[in-house]
Structure 1
Amino acid sequence: MGDINTENLAQKVSGLLLDARRKVLHTVNHKMVVTYYEIGRMIVEEEQNGKERAAYGKQLIAGLSKKLTATFGKGFSQRNLEQMRQFYLVYSIPQTVSAELQNTDFKEHNFQLSWSHYLKLMRIEDIHERKFYEIESLKNNWSLGELNRQYDSALFTRLSRSKDQSQVLRLAKEGQLFEKPQDAIKDPYILEFIGLPEQATYSETELEQKLIEKLESFILELGTGFTFVGRQERISFDDKHFRVDLVFYNRLLRCFVLIDLKIGELRHQDIGQMQMYVNYYDRKVKLDDEGKTIGIILCQNKSEAVVEFTLPENNQQIFASKYMTVLPSKESLAKVIEY
């Protein structure tokens, strides 16, 4: 009898077991979150039966915590029960929700994220913002750390700054969408993950290298649908050679996205150079059924007037955005966004 090669079979069985384990963990997590929601509901309903709600509520939770801990052990401290109560209050429809949101799926909660995610989300007061981060966490499989990072960098605010109320409402309903080039642009981009101090002296090459080293984080900052194509991609014509710092492709917009990195103030020559790169990709690289190439110039500072008067009025391909290498305070970020 010949040797039996079990390697292929072992790989298939291992894949099956790992998939089953993930599904079991997801099911257990979902059931746990739903159970916590129900516990919160039962606490709130019992409180409503009490005459002195504040005093009665504290006494109720203290007594419940003592009994549940004696029966089930850890996990039912007064603090945890108070969080379950708050979870229900936040995710049961408040009376102040707008009519537009009443017609969405806000009433039905699948609770597909972890309990840790919901502990973060329920502290976000604005319901539009909270729903946006919930959708994006699920859509992009954000870890709790990534959810915290995106919230701390004010992703929702950066995306909604130039949108009207109906577009902000759509962000809350559907998350970030990519339907036109402007949807792929943020201003500013927050690049604190590369580890460069705000006032440090560094070159464009060093900045590029840091972004490549943290490519996964950079793609998360760029948004949904981005895939990396290459760095220092060469463009050649008439015995002249140029290099695009970073090239990406967006699967949702079906177009190339060229990124040029600039240290210091943006100049009109930088915009002209990006215009050349974009034209070259449109005429020589992209396929006929692909969208027009997008060019993004990331700079430390820019004059809106220089951008406005260098680009044509109907520009939909070239954009200039600031970048920040440290996570700003809410106050400083608000000033940047307002400016």
Structure 2
Amino acid sequence: MDTKLDNLFFENIRLLLRKAQDTLLKQVNSVMVYTYFELGKQIVEQEQKGKSYADYGTFILSELSERLTIEFGKGYSKRNLELIRKFYIIFKNAKSPISQNLSWTHYIHLMRIEDEDERAYYQKEAEQNTWSVRTLERQINSAVYHRLMISKNANNQDRSVETNVTNPLETLKDPYILEFLNLKEQSNYSETQLEQAIIDRLEHFLLELGKGFTFVGRQVRFTFDEEHFRVDLVFYNRLLRCFVLIDLKIGKLKHQDLGQMQMYVNYYDRFVKTEDELPTIGIILCKDKKDAMVEITLPKDNKQIFASKYLLYLPKVEELKKIIEE
């Protein structure tokens, strides 16, 4: 008799239990979030009853913390109760209601954002794209909201940052933050090494690109007039319904680079895309660029060719604005 456990049988059992654990965890998170919201509401309402007393709110939180800790254990310190109260105050009239898809830890990160529009953006993106806490933290730290705002302002677009992508300009960032590549800012690396680092961390790069991107290929070759050409990276955006070509430049951007990308885009528009697809987008990712040179090289009504800087570290928002202004 063969007593060896069937691997497929074990895998099915393992997946069943993992699914149950994930479901229970989501339910626990959901219950915790809504419970904290109601707790925050009751704390605020109780404080308002004694608003004529200067220290009434502090007294309530201190006393409540002591009594809850005795009965329920850790997790109800005065600091945590202050966070729970803040949670209710911030989200009771928020643009986006609280969601069962986000954990309490998600909301702790969101509460650190003072600007209401910025907070609403990250909240909706985290919910719609099922971001982990770590991903949300990275997106906030890399100032995705501010980069989109700055890029839209630079392109004279509406100042709002929508989460439903319908316009290519809504997906563009300048700069792109590629700190996950783990390449040193001052080190010597080739364009091939940069490309390989992106391929090795493709999931991270897709997240940085934005919504709807799927990877098509690297060094994608096409032949025109008996000459062979290669596009560094080719993507397709299913929301925009268009190809997105990316060329990598580790040095200063030259007008020849823009001309080359224009040729790539023209080829894809004429020979690759179908009639129901939108015009191809070309992005040159470079370490250094001058906006004046880009503007004078490209047509005034250009909506297809873009040059964006990339950074290999996480800048602060103030530094980011300075980089854009320069």
Q: Structure 1 residues 27-36 or 158-167, which shifts more?
A: 158-167
Query: Structure 1 stretches of 5 or more lacking a match?
Result: 95-104
The two structures, once aligned, show a CA RMSD in angstroms of 2.6
- How far apart, CA to CA, are the structure 2 residues paired with 1:74 and 1:270? 60
Deviation of 1:56 after TM superposition, in Å, equals 1.8
Distance in 2 between residues matched to 1:251 and 1:51, nearest whole Å:
54
Q: 1:180 to 1:93 in 2, by over 3 A?
A: closer
Match of 1:129 among 118, 130, 138: 118
Aligned AA (1:144): V
**Alpha-carbon displacement from aligned partner over 1:37-84 (angstroms, at most 9, x marks no partner):** 111111111111225555222221111111111111111111111110
TM-score scaled by length of structure 2: 0.91
CA shift, 1:294, in A, is 0.8
Matches within 5 A, 1:116-265: 116-161=105-150, 162-163=152-153, 167-169=158-160, 171=161, 175-265=162-252
* 1:158 partner amino acid: R
TM-score (norm 1): 0.88
The answer as to whether partners of 1:249 and 1:256 remain within 8 angstroms in 2 is yes
SS of 1:186's equivalent in the other structure is coil
How many pairs align? 324
- Give 2:272's aligned residue: 285
Q: In structure 2, what is the equivalent of residue 64 of structure 1?
A: 64
Percentage of pairs with the same residue? 54
Equivalent residue for 2:98, pick from 85, 88, 109: 109
CA distance change for structure 1 residues 166 and 268 in 2, over 3 Å: closer, same or farther? closer
Instruction: For residue 135 of structure 1, report the CA deviation from its aligned partner.
Output: 0.5
Q: Which residue of structure 2 lines up, in the alignment, with residue 299 of structure 1?
A: 286
CA displacement at 1:242 relative to structure 2 = 1.6
Secondary structure of the 2:63 match is helix
Match of 1:256, SS? strand
Indicate if the aligned counterparts of 1:47 and 1:53 stay in contact, CA closer than 8 A. Answer: no
Opposite residue 275 of structure 2, the aligned amino acid is D
Contact 2:190–2:250 (CA<8 Å) still a contact in 1?
yes
Q: Is the 8 A contact 1:233 1:246 kept in 2?
A: yes
Q: Kindly state the Cα deviation for residue 268 of structure 1 after the two structures are TM-superposed.
A: 0.6
Alpha-carbon distance in structure 1 between the residues aligned to 2:260 and 2:54? 65
- Is the contact made by 2:185 and 2:313 (CA closer than 8 Å) also made in structure 1? yes
Conservation of the 8 A alpha-carbon contact between 1:158 and 1:337:
no
Select the residue among 286, 302, 305 that pairs with 1:315.
302
Shift in Å at residue 166 of structure 1?
9.5
Comparing 125-134 and 303-312, the one that deviates more: 303-312
Do the aligned residues in 1 keep the contact of 2:220 with 2:230 (CA within 8 Å)?
Answer: yes
**In structure 2, how many angstroms separate the alpha carbons of the residues matched to 1:86 and 1:337?**
34
